[in-house]
Structure 1
Amino acid sequence: MTQPGEQARGKVLTRSEATAHGGRNGYIETPDHHLGVKFSVPQEIGGDGGVGTNPEQLFAAACAASFQSAVGMVARRDGVTFGTSQVTGVVGLRREDDADPSYHLDVELRVSLPGLGREEAERMVREARALCPYCRALGESAGVRITVVEGEGAEEFSGRS
């Protein structure tokens, strides 16, 4: 565990900060005021489902954006072109069983790479997964599922990370 002010291994390229006030029923804000978000607890976990977002929505957005950037890195590196890509993050809370009071993340990324064949899309997704810091950080704890979406249907590509 690092101590306050101590850095993790490697060179830190960027750092972001947000402060939570009131947990899942409060709000978060960043020092630069670029982000200020009200939270409300979803009804599914005992809240009122009021106006506001939740940490899972923010995490879904962050995972989707990061993974889409990783796909773009692979495409640029390999000189691959395709239509406008789309990544949808789906993040849920789950419990292993009713006796376990702790929550676990359930993460799925739905990836659309129009104009690519299935084999090429799967290769790019596999390589992007290895580059994406969110996928690497989650590792086995959340078991990120990635679904390559083609047209109207979707097939799971690579199971869990």
Structure 2
Amino acid sequence: MKTLYKTEVTTTGGRNGQTTSEDGVLDMKLTMPKELGGEGGEYSNPEQLFAAGYSACFGSTLEVVAKKHKLDLGDYSVTATVELGKTEEEDLELSVILDCYIPGVEVETGEELVNEAHEICPYSRATMDNIDVTLNLLLDE
């Protein structure tokens, strides 16, 4: 792999710790959600950070795909819902739902864009065959 960008983030204290990027841009406290037995509150957690990264990356990939097809995405959005659960064997497992809103797009075209983006998005490729990812195309009413 030819490296295009590299970053480093260090977390101390796990889910109830501090996470900081090498350049200091990301520097935040983490708190375990109440649903996992933590205090919750005003701080983020790994699942939120993963959802932010995946939705941003997938959105940028949609832009690349749309440009290739000479289409305008308009005021689009991608919402990633990340769930942390347990398997039947009690192992922790992630799943993701990507809700892609592309205003004014025909259903067939929208599905083609979303599916093509899923094939080439680095997050999708990293999670493929590892976690369940559900793709949704949201339509105007």
TM-score band w.r.t. shorter chain: over 0.9
Identify which range, 121-130 or 137-146, moves more after superposition: 137-146
Q: Could you tell me the percent identity over the aligned residues? A: 38
Provide the rounded CA distance (Å) in 2 between the counterparts of 1:85 and 1:133: 20
What is the match of residue 37 of structure 1?
Answer: 28
Counterpart in 2 of 1:18?
9
Deviations 1:57-113 (A, max 9, x none): 00000000000011000111110123211001111101013x51x211111110001
Amino acid across the alignment from 1:115: G
Which whole-Å CA distance do the structure 2 matches of 1:25 and 1:50 have between them? 11
Q: Which of residues 100, 104, 110 is equivalent to 2:99? A: 110
Q: Distance in 2 between matches of 1:27 and 1:11?
A: 31
For residues 141 and 30 of structure 1, the distance between their equivalents in structure 2, rounded to whole angstroms, comes to: 26
1: CA distance between counterparts of 2:7 and 2:124? 18
1:50 and 2:52 aligned: no
- CA distance in 2 between partners of 1:78 and 1:151 (Å): 21
1:13-62 per-position Cα deviation (integer Å, ceiling 9, x unaligned): 11111000100000100121111111111111111113310000000000
Gaps of 5+ in 2: none
Aligned to 1:80: 71
1:126 matched to 2:112: no
Change (3 A) 1:51 1:82: closer
Structure with more contact order per residue of length (Cα contacts < 8 Å, sep ≥ 6) = 2
Distance 1:78 1:123 in 2: 10
The gaps in structure 1 that reach 5 residues or longer are: 1-9, 153-161
Q: How many residue pairs are counted as aligned between the two chains?
A: 141
Q: Which amino acid aligns with 1:128?
A: A
TM-score (normalised: structure 1) = 0.84
Report if aligned partners of 2:10, 2:19 keep a CA contact under 8 Å in 1: yes
